[in-house]
A and B are shown apart, each in its own frame.
Chain A
């Protein structure tokens, strides 16, 4: 519950995406703590409205050698390299997680990736057997370029092909996760919407690099990684703002949200829900309850009763 509101009405933080009700807009972003059923349930108990599993592909992957995740002063950078146990094992994890989440009323999103369009479709089919509430299609991981080539998210036609293939292999609503590392994210967003995506998650991490001067080489074993955390919030806000101006499907605004104020900014930019990832580094797992308290407090101060009243208001001319 949200303390400190006395007898005043507590603002309603509930949101709806594709007919599914989230008790609050905070969504655990993929790649953070989404490795196993008990950990997903722990995040759910901490107050997340939805939780996303770590991305899985058709077969198991070890990921890159370390260093893979670092904090550098204004955010995190990671190149884990899509380590995962494979689709069959992940389907088991999802099935177990669903049982643990059911009494909590938390929505479960299964994140998938693939090296080819067919792999995306097949992974979606395998995962669908465990009945997650949504499938998130990660076409935007910046950390596996040497192996898989440029992400599908950098080309509107490729992004659309993946979206169509996944849509035709599952009845579960599909979220497509977009990359900010493109010239025109709106073009990609429109392409996946036309291809049948039910929702968009924006943004994945921003490609970057750290160099150690004494070692004279990049710190991440993969050299290039994805930046997350406070440093990328303005980039995410801009992307969500531009996307929601041109597409109708809901957007999960993700990138650098650490406080309730950040979350409201994201919703004002047009997001329906808000991804939470690196905030857990800064505030621990209680980030979910703290951000909700801060959102409710700020909404009350500003005179908002629900998130419908907040959504997209930054678009006013």
Chain B
């Protein structure tokens, strides 16, 4: 069993990279043992503690969009500063089949990079659709290319790539790519659209959901969605595939 750190442990930031005007990547000086799709709780003492999906585990990499007070404070952090992490928690993605279609909306694309790298290492072929509102918000395209993925871009304003939302591009590509599994991470509406595509084409999918978390390990109930705990049953929900193995 991989080690899970239940008390926050300090990691020094070794590098910070701007991905877009709203998104930064933090490379940390330290390692965890994690599955793509798993998350960590990031603590800024005196501020708050929030869940973030891992973009890499050795070294630990986090890609963070500035969406509120906590992420604004996180964006102020520089190399040499310390972040406290506990985890990794949750059920991540499992790599099934040989032809994978990944669909990421906005900053939701970040954990899919971790999945893409692992899948390619295992000999899978990986297509990724990166969707965003505009060209400026498309992130990590170069990293996916370097990892060996076929990259497809979609913007809602048509400023780059396909003009439309990521699931619309997915529905055009599915007949030609014939993926074994669809993997998704992004806004709720995108996940629902992928769920529909999944059942329409009879292709299993694995979708990563978000929730407001406190404990991160399945006791407080804060992240409950109709009896399903995002932190412990998820964050990855398998649709139309084999039932998710879990502690429950």
A-side interface residues toward B, CB under 8 Å? 31-36, 38-39, 41-42, 54, 63, 65-73, 76, 78, 80, 83, 210, 212, 214-215, 217, 219, 221, 277-278, 280-281, 284-286
Contacts and interface: CB of A to CB of B under 8 A. Distances in A.
Binding site secondary structure of chain A:
loop
Contacts of B219: 32-33, 69, 76, 277-278, 280-281
B6 A72 contact: yes
A235 B229 CA distance: 31
Contact of A214 (B49, B82, B217, B224): B82
Contacts of B21: none
Contact of B7 (A70, A277, A281, A286): A70
Given A38-B227, A63-B214, A215-B10, 19 more contacts: A32-B221, A33-B218, A34-B221, A39-B221, A39-B224, A66-B41, A67-B43, A67-B49, A68-B214, A70-B6, A71-B6, A71-B217, A76-B219, A80-B214, A212-B7, A215-B84, A219-B43, A280-B219, A281-B215
B227 A72 contact: no
17 contacts: A32-B220, A32-B221, A33-B220, A34-B221, A39-B229, A54-B221, A66-B213, A69-B214, A70-B215, A73-B7, A80-B220, A212-B45, A217-B45, A217-B46, A280-B218, A284-B248, A286-B248
A66 B222 CA distance: 12
Contacts of A42: 227
B49 to A, nearest CB: 4
A280 B229 CA distance: 13
- Interface-central residue, B47, B218, B221, by most chain A CB under 10 Å: B221
Nearest to B223: A35
- Interface-central residue, A38, A210, A215, A217, by most chain B CB under 10 Å: A215
Contacts of B49: 65-67, 221
Interface in B200-248: 213-222, 224, 226-229, 247-248
Interface string B1-14: 00000111010000
Contacts of B213: 66
B227 A215 contact: no
Contacts of A38: 224, 226-228
A35 B248 contact: no
A281 B227 CA distance: 16
- Interface-central residue, B86, B220, B248, by most chain A CB under 10 Å: B220
Contacts of A83: 222
Contacts of B228: 38
A38 B225 CA distance: 9
